[in-house]
Amino acid sequence: MSATLATYVALPGNAADAFTHWQEVFGGELDLTRYGDMDLEGMPFTPDPEKVAHAALHTPGGDITGGDAMPGEDAPPLRDTAYSLLYGVDTPDEARTLIQKLVDGGGSVNMPFELAPWGDWYGQAFDRFGVMWAFAASESSGTQTP
């Protein structure tokens, strides 16, 4: 097996909603395992059976994994610009469509999607869960107007 890298997002109890929303926005195949779907023998805590132990969304652009934060642990701060998920697409129009889906789903634009000083298209949006998504498309993929 060759090495792989996937993003992991710990959410504050709403992982099922977030991953379902992300599948609606980005497409792909969603594998979602709740604690109630697992044999919990030997588990050092008693989790809520409805909480997500592990989720994996296999999108055309790559994998997003995550779950609900462990009981007793604070979920990481959301709605922050210290991190983002960068999604590269083929065309500026494809990025605009994905950004609009996030906004229509209760998110907001953080940085308008436009031609950036370095020559590529770039912009950012927060989804309704507070996760920041950055979008990029190369200049050579098209010079559509903003």
Quote the CA–CA distance of 16 and 44 in Å, as a whole number: 23
pLDDT band at 78; cut points 50, 70, 90: low
Q: How far is CA 109 from the centre of its chain?
A: 15
- At residue 71, φ and ψ (nearest 5 deg) are -55, 135
Computed over every residue of the chain, the mean pLDDT equals 89
Tell me which residue of 62, 54, 71 sits closest to 19, measured CA to CA: 54
Which pair of tokens denotes residue 127? Answer: 């989804």
Instruction: Determine what percent of the chain is predicted with pLDDT higher than 70.
Output: 91
Distances from the Cα of 45 to the Cαs of 3, 10, 39, 49, in angstroms? 31, 17, 13, 12
CA atoms within 13 A on the CB side of 110: 21
pLDDT at residue 142 greater than cutoff 70: no
pLDDT the model gives residue 146: 47
Cα distances (Å, whole numbers) of residue 33 to 7, 19, 24, 64: 17, 11, 18, 14
CB 19 within 8 A of CB 8: no
Contact between 64 and 7 (Cβ < 8 Å): yes
Q: What is the value of pTM for the model shown?
A: 0.87
pLDDT at residue 129 above 60?
yes
Give tens-digit pLDDT for 8-35: 998 989 999 999 999 999 999 999 999 9
What domains lie within the chain, and their CATH numbers? 7-68 (3.10.180.10), 85-141 (3.10.180.10)
